[in-house]
Amino acid sequence: MALDTANTISVRTMNMIQALNSALDVSLAHDPDTLIFGEDVGYFGGVFRVTDKLQEKYGLTRCFDTPISEGGIIATAIGMGAYGLRPVVEIQFADYILPAYDQLVSEAARLRYRSNGQFWAPITVRSPYGGGIFGGQTHSQSPEAIFAHITGLKTVIPSNPYDAKGLLIAAIECDDPVIFLEPKRLYNGPFEGRPDAQVKTWAGHPMAEVPEGRYTVPLGKAATVREGNDVTVLAYGTMVHVALSAIEETGIDAELIDLRSIVPLDIDAIVASVKKTGRCLIVHEASKYAGFGGELSALVQERCFYHLKSAVRRVGGWDTPYPHAFEWDYFPGPSRIVPALRACLED
């Protein structure tokens, strides 16, 4: 963690919405070239209230609403970035980012390369993503793999309030375009993947103690959530908490790695853990086929082959549209992670 030692930093309990709002507030105050725009982010404060009161505090030119045009939002941000501004834009749900995909791939990701370093696109694209809130097929998808495939884009996925704030500030200050995916199921509290269990808030969670001032969490640095010796579990976003719950249910001495970002990827942390445990389970909410877990599996196989005691396993969403009525059959909960953990040890 990098702290701004020029300011005295107090700490308070925040949920993820408050932590992200604080990150945006700090960034707007820190750099006059930073600005925020998107659908309903201004007066309304965002559909999840992440940008609440920022327009009131910084004015209409620093935080403003846009038409419903994802391609236009990203195109405008790229132009602003090329001219020296540092835009932070919101795509209201990650499901709706596809109309802007060509702008992100053909323009933002390649601008520095195409101009031989004369221009770049220091833009941050925030978007709520993932399921667990009965959003149906158009408000629940996890599209991280399609961005990880594109050279020139960074893809960041926090799992808790502390990381969310530090990673978002680091993303905003990065000179490359960053896709910042916010697991909306974690906005108000950690989720263990059991829909019938009592709802939890972030109150009392150690990662909800968030400095109020400016600090950064480096992009591309994984965190060890739980140390263990029997099997390595790789996860990010909501699945960090679901995997931890499954590990506790089994009593298996598993090591849980929160990747935090998938591009850049902390391959050194992954390799060190798998070489220690000799086994690996990968968990993500996105559809399993061609999901980012496939890339993780290949990397582990290539770099840890002689240390592996069993096959690398993956747990992901089903290869179907995200269902509304059968959300908890699709969602990779402990009921699917627990057998996979045990199978890793039985080989």
**For a pLDDT cut of 70, what percent of the chain falls above it?**
98
Which residue in the list 139, 149, 205, 307 is annotated as catalytic? 139
Beta strands in the chain (DSSP E): 2-3, 11-13, 34-38, 63-65, 86-90, 124-129, 154-156, 178-183, 209-211, 215-216, 223-226, 231-235, 254-258, 261-263, 280-287, 313-317
Give the chain's domains with CATH numbers: 9-212 (3.40.50.970), 223-346 (3.40.50.920)
How are beta strands 11-13 and 209-211 bridged, if at all?
antiparallel
pLDDT (tens digit, 9 = 90+) per residue, 190-242?
A: 999 999 999 999 999 999 999 999 999 999 999 999 999 999 999 999 999 99
Residue 128: pLDDT above 70? Answer: yes
CA distance 106 to 225: 36
What average pLDDT does this structure show over 333-337?
Answer: 96
pTM across the whole model: 0.96
Give me the long-range contacts of 63-69 (CB less than 8 A, separation at least 24): 63/28, 63/35, 63/36, 63/37, 64/35, 64/36, 64/37, 65/37, 65/38, 65/39, 65/40, 65/41, 66/37, 66/38, 66/39, 67/39, 68/39, 69/99
139 is a catalytic site residue: yes
With cut-offs at 50, 70 and 90, classify the pLDDT of residue 347.
confident
| pLDDT given for residue 6 in this prediction | 44
320: buried, middle or exposed (CB in 10 Å: 19+, 13-18, 0-12)? exposed
